[in-house]
Chain A
Amino acid sequence: MNLLTVENLTVTLATGSGDAQAVRNLSFNVGHGEILGVAGESGSGKTMTALSMLGLLPYKGKASGSIKFDGREILTSSKREYRDLRGKEIAMIFQDPMTSLHPMLTVEVQLTEHLRHHRKVSKDAARNSALELLATVKIPEPAAALRAHPSQFSGGMRQRIAIAMALACEPKLLIADEPTTALDVTVQAGILKLLHQLRKERNLSVMVITHDLGVLSSLTDRIMIMYAGSEVESGLTTDLLRNPRHPYTKGLIAALPGNSASNSKNLLSIDGMPPELGNFPTGCAFHTRCNYAKESCKGAIPEVTNLNSTHRIFCPINPFSEVTSAGSQS
């Protein structure tokens, strides 16, 4: 059984011009010890999907559908039940370690406060676990680090501290929202390696949200590509990157530097802009930017096409059904 099973998740946010759906009828799952990558451009609903797992949607946000965690429906949880889940069963790492750590609290307080709340351990026991955690995430001189404030660390070190915070109560699922986007490339590799290692050592399930396909290829087992709040394609990482079948996925991969089909020095891009919240096109939301779009794409919401037991796309016309290996990975 999967650790996390999401069915028909729809997230509605309040915007200046009325309610808007940020996530639409999304269904996916994460297995035990699996790393799922969720990718898409800004505004595709990745972060809102993650926040709804924790019941932390922004002010006046609402989620409907079903989220089963460890066999239990959690979307209908009370505030209290959600609090018992957060940090303890499902932990989250946020995008920018410069802003997600509290500037006025010491690392020790931030590493131990939830541990002490959830596990009711003593201050000394919590401090010892904090020291171990800092060693796990490879912070030098853990004892000195405990007494320091976040401002005394670099971005990469802060993200390691944030990861240690997330791991404190040994959660079953870790949600990482763009964990490397705010970091230098050299630091990114270290964080990715750390996440990989943690998954192996702790059989941790991870949901990584990113718009960086490089992160996806090196870290994930499976990928789900989102566009305008819906899934467009999902499959095993190797399948999906070698053999993308949705025009949008193909575009994303072609847009990677060094991957351009024409092999020219110019970077390829997908024409047009991602649609704005509350202004998603009808039918297949991608039809406004799709080179293969037909008149019929505007009408119907795309049905799922299963290519094999793990690989599926949501495209009304499936233009690459005959092609086996178009844009291959470098």
Chain B
Amino acid sequence: MKPVSGERKTRKRPLSGTGFTPFIIRRLLTSILLVFGVTFISFSITQLVPGDPVAANLGQSAYSDPEIVAAFEKEFGLDQPVPVQYYRYITNLLQGDLGVSLSSKRPVAEDLKEYFPATLEIALVAVFLALIVGLLLGIISAVTRDRWPDQIIRVFSLTGVSMPAFWTALTAFYIFFFVLGWAPGTGRLEPGGEPPPTVTGLFTIDALIKGDFQTFRQAFSYLLLPAIVLAIYAVGVLTRFTRASMLEILGNDYVRAARAKGLPEFTVIRRHVLRPALLSIITVAGVAFASLLAGSVLVENVFSWPGLGQYAYRAAVGLDLPGIMGVSMIVATVYITMNLLVDILYRIIDPQMKDSA
């Protein structure tokens, strides 16, 4: 039996144990290694991409002056061989220094501190909405299989995954801002609005911390529409996936056995079906959250939302290598953190799982 061999191992090497703490430590170590792997790959890709960052950042006349080009290259370390550039990048990274952006001429870390919370704020609201709506619709859809609620939900979820984000963003903005006037407009606050003192960088949270409910209401009303637009795709994905994995679990012998016990249908669904189904739903939810960040590029541009998406767009167009690297680092860290959370949730839902590491 597995637990026996696990206990034996625990005595020898604590990190290979099957307990919860060794499991978390092990997963954290792998996660850190992964982040470094990501820096290597994204650094290599930015080097391989055709295009000269000097040309992209200096004007035509400055570019034709070899002295200015040399000074620019020296300032940003572009005159060094690539391995040296990477070595410098990593040693700086370990000190929390992500380099200086070629386009904004400010430290990338500062830029990210400003732009990332804005994206995190709509992404969190979006994923919260997507989880509630997606799970609920998926469960209703599976339970009413082939009857009218299921049919309607299936049409909606298919539409959700099929519509491109920029189109939903534009349409939603047109309808709710221009036609109906329900949405307040673009940006994070009304023009000239005073942002709350920065604690987390999330305006709604910061306003609450300060106790400023008026700013909270305003910030919330501004982020709601972009968050909903961002959530639509994830709602579609989660609904379809929840339905599919519920139906798969519903076909199991143990569900029939639970019904044969005369339990109320609600108990059968909640205890016997939803729990195993959640295991696979969580995986998809983790990936869906990370892909929200990708979707934010287009949505942020439509709503003039000063977030990571806009920053990434500018960095990419300007061949701003430190900027691109910074964004990749953030996105990779979010992906890896979501995976870590998913693994931990797995263990909480099914404590029998001993072997994932």
Residues in A lying within 8 Å of B, measured CB to CB: 54, 56, 59, 79, 82-88, 91-92, 94, 96, 99-105, 109, 113-114, 117-118, 149, 151-152, 162, 165
* Contact partner, A104, options B253, B257, B264, B276, Cβ 8 Å: B276
CA distance A152 to B145 in the complex (A): 34
B275 at the interface (CB under 8 A from A): yes
CA distance A59 to B261 in the complex (A): 18
CA distance A99 to B254 in the complex (A): 6
Known contacts A104-B350, A105-B271: A86-B253 contact under CB 8 Å:
no
Contact B271 A113 (CB under 8 A): yes
A99 surroundings in chain B (CB, below 8 A): 252-254
B259 at the interface (CB under 8 A from A): yes
CA distance A167 to B259 in the complex (A): 15
CA distance A101 to B349 in the complex (A): 17
Contact B256 A87 (CB under 8 A): no
B352 at the interface (CB under 8 A from A): yes
B180 at the interface (CB under 8 A from A): no
Contact B261 A104 (CB under 8 A): no
Number of residues in B with C-beta < 8 Å to the partner? Answer: 23
A149 surroundings in chain B (CB, below 8 A): 352
Interface SS majority for chain B: helix
* Contact partner, B254, options A54, A82, A85, A102, Cβ 8 Å: A102
Q: Within B292-308, which residues are at the interface with A (CB < 8 Å)? A: none
Contact B259 A165 (CB under 8 A): no
> What are 9 contact pairs spanning A and B, CB under 8 A?
A56-B259, A83-B264, A85-B262, A94-B260, A99-B252, A101-B254, A109-B271, A114-B263, A117-B264
Q: Report the minimum CB–CB distance from B56 to chain A (whole Å).
A: 55
CA distance A101 to B254 in the complex (A): 5
A88 surroundings in chain B (CB, below 8 A): 262
Question: A56-B260, A94-B257, A102-B254 are known contacts; what are 13 more A-B pairs with Cβ within 8 Å?
Answer: A56-B259, A84-B262, A87-B263, A94-B260, A100-B257, A101-B257, A103-B254, A104-B276, A105-B271, A113-B261, A114-B262, A117-B261, A117-B262
Contact B260 A91 (CB under 8 A): yes
Q: Report the minimum CB–CB distance from A277 to chain B (whole Å).
A: 18
B262 surroundings in chain A (CB, below 8 A): 82-88, 114, 117-118
Contact B259 A94 (CB under 8 A): no
Contact B256 A94 (CB under 8 A): yes
Contact A102 B258 (CB under 8 A): yes
